[in-house]
Structures are given as structure tokens and as C-alpha cells.
Structure 1
Amino acid sequence: MSGLTLFSICLTIIVYIGAKALSSRVLSPFTTPVLTATIILIVIFQAMDISYEQYSAAKDWMTYLLGPATVALAVPMYKNREVIKEKLKQALFGLIIGTLATIASAVWISKMLNLSETVQAASAVKAVTTPVAIETVVIIGGDPALAAAFVITAGIFGAVFGPVCLSTLRIHDPFSRGLGIGTVAHGIGTSQAVIEGQLQGAVSSVAMGFTAIFTSVILPWLYPLL
């Protein structure tokens, strides 16, 4: 590991810890840790003339840790398993409708804006976690790098504005909030749902996993029909 890679990893961790501290002190959609940390890191790297290619090695190391981090989400799921079992049938119905609506709306909006086929394909996978999106988008002829950018953008927007939209619509039930955020904003949204509460985080984790599996199965068949 080079010195720049180690520096980038340490800087990312420090900035994220600072962003979390800010989020706990200033309650606002715009102090969501992922959003704040991303903006600060971009500014720092721009000032230090560090390119994305140079940062990429550090990103790969941290991305590798996404696996264990995702598995750790099983803990709140297990603790809230009785509530999840009780509402599983209703949740599955909502997840299926939500996933199909997310895919269809993304593709249709891309077509209305006369965007390229590559962009349309990348937008179709924006609501699932990055590893699944990268593999799935290849099957439908999209660009993995573009898909990853769409996924991250969708996750940040979901984490920032998802809770606000739910509150505006007077959706305060923890189960419903976790379900909605996890369906459209995958891991980044789930990290925000965990901040709201343990049940929200557990349900969001279930929604994130189901959406990823369902999308990878249904999208190769559904995409040509849209």
C-alpha cells in the first residue's frame, strides 16, 4: 500500500467521523454524513490536486469492506425479526411494487429526456447496491462505471431527501419509513435509516437486500419491455 493510499484512507475515515459528529449536532437533511463527507473530500482533493485515479486505490480497499459491513446489518434484523415476520406479506407487496416503479420511472424519464441507451440502462439499476448494480447493468448493455455513479447519487439523494419526503407526507411509522428508504436508497439510505432508529435500520436492510435480488432477477427480462 502506497503512502498516498494510506493517507487517503485515513483522511476519508477522519472526515466521515467529523461529518457524523456534525450530523448529531446540526439536525438537517443537508448534514447527512455521506453528503457532507463527500463534499469535504472533493474540496480537499481538489485543493491538493489529487485525482480520482490516484484516490481509486484507497476506494478499492474501503469498497472491499462493504461485504463485512453489509453482513453486520444482520444484527438489527435479528433483533427485530418478530416485527419483520409479522408484517412480511405487506412488506413484500410494497417492495415488489416499489422496485418495479423505481425501474420503470427511471427508464421512462431517461427516454423522455432523449438520453442514450447507456444512460437508460445505468438509470435502471440506480436503486440497488453497487456490487449488484455493476453486475446487472452489464447484462442489459450498460456501463458499470456510469451505473456506479448513478447508484451513489441516488443513495445520497435518498438519504438526504427520503426522510424529509416521508415526513412531509406524514409517514411516521418506523417500519414504513425503513421500507421506503431501503427500497430506493440501498446502503447509503440504510445508514441514514439506522440513525433514525434500530427498527428503521433493520427494515431498510431487508428492503435493500430484497430490492437487489429482485432487480437482478427481473431486470434482464423487464428492461427490453420498457
Structure 2
Amino acid sequence: MTVAVYLLSIKLSSKFPSPFTTPVFFSTLIIIIFLMFSGISYHDYQLARDIMTFLLGPATVALAVPLYKHRSILFQNLIPAFAGLFAGSITTVLAAVLLAKILKLANWISLSLSIKSITIPVAAEVAKIIGADSVLVAAIVMITGMIGAMFGPWFLNKCHVYHPFARGISMGTIAHGIGTAEAAREGELQGAVSGVAMGLAAIFTAIIIPFVMPFLFHV
């Protein structure tokens, strides 16, 4: 059922391109509705989910193949790539904390929001260090990835950003794994670059955030 829904969502998104027909969003929505009305519990569905989760490992490692094929482009763009990665990682943290301060959210919510753009395994560990709520972090990270995959390509088009390298860096830095999946749908280079950006952004954010958080919350 999961595979069938995903294949259907790919056809739908190609025929009716829209942020709301993005496969990761549309297929997730349909599966949730199906489980609700079919009476299948999440625990029962977890068997299928575990299989797909296991396959994420080989799929992620496989991104190294297109990256190796396009390594010359990566080396040619190292400086702008790291500049974009640094700017994106810092901006997403600052924006989250600033929004939380404007909305007068509790500190534990603000801390959870600050690591929304790094992949869940890393975010879960960072959450323990900075005192964020691990459950809330997991939910926020998933929502961030979903929104990034839905609206990231649309926003980049509106900003006239069409270079595959730039699009890959953007999606991987801000929308981690889910954004990388969407970038890979655009093209081989976008997916490969996004995978690298996802990993480096997670490492970079994990290193700096424990040091910058005390400063941000005392400003």
C-alpha cells in the first residue's frame, strides 16, 4: 500500500505540480487517512515502516555514487558551498530563536525549535545536550523536512535559483533527509549535493549550538 501510494503521488505531482502534490506530503497524508479509516493501528503498520527505515541506510550511502561522478563540480564550488552551508545553518537557528522570542514561547520549546533543520538522529543527541524535549524535537524536525520538501523547490523557483548545485545545498541544509529525497527527484547532482549538505549541516550545527544557545537566550 505504501509503495502504491508513493507511485501514485509521483504521477500526480508530475501531472499537477504543486507543493501540495509533493510525493512525501501527499503519500503521507493518504497513508494516515487510510490507517485511520481502515482500523489498522500504527503498531501494525510499523512492520512495513521498519523495512523502509532499514532501506534508508543503503539509500543514503548510495548518494555517494552520483557525488563521486560529479566530484569535479563539488571541488570547483567548495568556497560558495561552505559559505552557503554556514549561512543556512546559522540563519535557521537564529530565525527559530527569534520567532520563539517574538511569540514568547517557553525556553524548552525555543530550544527544540532551534535544531529543527538537522536530521533526527543528530537532533535527538543535541536535544539531550541543550535540554530540549526529544519528542518535540522529532516532531518539529519531521514537520520542517516536510515543509522544506513541499515549498523549497517552489521558493527557489520564485527566487530564480535554478543552478542544480545551489538547489541541492539549499534543500540539504534546511530540510535534511526529506528535502534531500525531494532534491534527488529533481536530478542526480541535486540529490548528491543535498546529501552532503545534510550531513555537514548536522555536524556543524551540533558543534556550534551548545555554545551559541546560552548567548542567544541572554540577549
* Candidates 83, 105, 108, aligned match of 1:93: 83
Equivalent-residue separation in structure 1 for 2:6 and 2:186 (angstroms): 18
* Candidates 69, 93, 96, aligned match of 1:103: 93
Secondary structure, aligned partner of 1:121: helix
Q: How much does 1:41 deviate?
A: 0.9
Report the counterpart of residue 63 of structure 1 in structure 2: 53
Report the counterpart of residue 176 of structure 1 in structure 2: 166
Report the counterpart of residue 202 of structure 2 in structure 1: 212
The question of 1:188 aligning with 2:170 is answered: no
Q: How much does 1:204 deviate?
A: 1.1
Structure 2 letter corresponding to 1:208 = M
30-39 or 19-28: which moved more?
Answer: 19-28
Q: TM-score, normalised by structure 1?
A: 0.88
Structure 2 letter corresponding to 1:185 = A
Per-residue CA deviations over 1:164-220 (Å, capped at 9, x if unaligned) read 111111111211111111110111111111111222112111111110111111111
Structure 2 letter corresponding to 1:140 = I
Q: How much does 1:116 deviate?
A: 2.0
Equivalent-residue separation in structure 2 for 1:162 and 1:46 (angstroms): 29
Change (3 A) 1:64 1:119: farther
Equivalent-residue separation in structure 1 for 2:208 and 2:74 (angstroms): 24
The question of 1:114 aligning with 2:104 is answered: yes
Change (3 A) 1:71 1:57: same
Output the aligned Cα RMSD. Answer: 1.7
Q: TM-score, normalised by structure 2?
A: 0.91
Report the counterpart of residue 149 of structure 1 in structure 2: 139
4+ long deviations beyond 6 Å: none
Unpaired segments of 5 or more residues in structure 1? Answer: 1-10
Q: How much does 1:96 deviate?
A: 0.8
Equivalent-residue separation in structure 1 for 2:186 and 2:180 (angstroms): 10
Per-residue CA deviations over 1:14-62 (Å, capped at 9, x if unaligned) read 3222222322333222211100011101111111234445544544443
The question of 1:31 aligning with 2:12 is answered: no
Secondary structure, aligned partner of 1:65: helix
* Candidates 149, 155, 158, aligned match of 1:159: 149
Q: How much does 1:118 deviate?
A: 2.3
